[in-house]
Structure 1
Amino acid sequence: MDPLTLYRVLWLRVGVFVVEQEAAYPEIDGRDIEPGAELMWAQADGDVVSTLRVLAEPDAMRIGRVATAASARGRGVAAELMRRAVARCEERAPGLPIVLDAQAQLEGWYARFGFAVAGAPFSEDGIPHLPMRRG
């Protein structure tokens, strides 16, 4: 990934999670540079409009930091990115479950991709979340 694309990915994540959702936490948490971490993104007119990351954990693959610019929401951009992320997880670790921590209001959206609630609700930075699992 070239530095400009990386900058745009991080800019989008900070814009959505820190500014829009007012969650003042360390967005750059060190997990993006773990062995096996992959960043995925979608662009429109040179701008990153949706992004997520795939992480390898000991007993699962993890999808996280799913963020979409307000201007791209409802257009299927994030859905296509999620389909690709799920396929990538299955390619990298066949048979392992895929997990994520969903903002509670997005439970139904993640269910479209085969994820189901897999634990008790929790709060992260004042935002209700649900652990979800596929497979």
Structure 2
Amino acid sequence: MWNYIAFEELSALELQRIYKARVDVFVVEQNCPYQEVDDTDLESTHIFKEENNELCAYMRVIPTEDNIHIGRVLVARSHRKSGLGRELVARGLEYIETIYPGMPIYAQAQAHLEDFYGSFGFETVSEVYLEDEIPHIDMIMPAKELG
């Protein structure tokens, strides 16, 4: 089952699983020491799937004045190559289009995922740059016409 939960509604156990998965992927697996837990979590909607008391996939959705930002997109190592990443992003975009219709969507993506995000309609709007020593690009999905 997919969960769409504001920070203040997360249980302590859900929050622990989210933080553990994010640190596992973005700090340990990618060998990237940085402040993984940040204040942006407080204003985000957390979208995730759990099975057998394990977080399988996760992303956060952050509303800003100009666009909606998606971030911390991950699939747990044990669930990769299953199509879960594609399902996660599709569900996140569906949520955004429902809750924030007509807003462009921004992703700061690791450069090797450019084609993956491009397949959803994201367009690259920057050159490759290093963020925490990992090549990244900025991508935007233009706002859809309301009608």
TM range (shorter): over 0.9
Q: Deviations over 1:17-51 (max 9, x none)?
A: 000001100000110102xx100111122200110
Q: Matched residues in 1 for 2:128 and 2:99: separation?
A: 28
Q: 1:79 aligns with which of 79, 86, 95?
A: 86
Q: CA RMSD in A?
A: 1.0
Matched pairs, number: 133
Instruction: Give the structure 1 partner of residue 111 of structure 2.
Output: 104
Q: Which of 29, 46, 58 pairs up with 1:20?
A: 29
Q: Distance in 2 between matches of 1:110 and 1:76?
A: 14
Q: How far apart in 2 are the matches of 1:90 and 1:117? A: 20
Could you list the runs of 5+ residues in structure 1 that have no partner in the other structure? none
| SS of residue paired to 2:116 | helix
Residues 1:30 and 2:39 are matched in the alignment: yes
Q: Which whole-Å CA distance do the structure 2 matches of 1:22 and 1:110 have between them?
A: 23
Give the aligned partner of residue 16 of structure 2: 7
Matches within 5 A, 1:58-77: 58-77=65-84
TM superposition score normalised by structure 2: 0.87
Which consecutive segments of 4 or more residues in structure 1 shift more than 6 A? none
- Of 106, 119, 124, the residue aligned with 1:117 is 124
Identity %: 38
Partner Cα distance (2:92, 2:103) in 1: 14
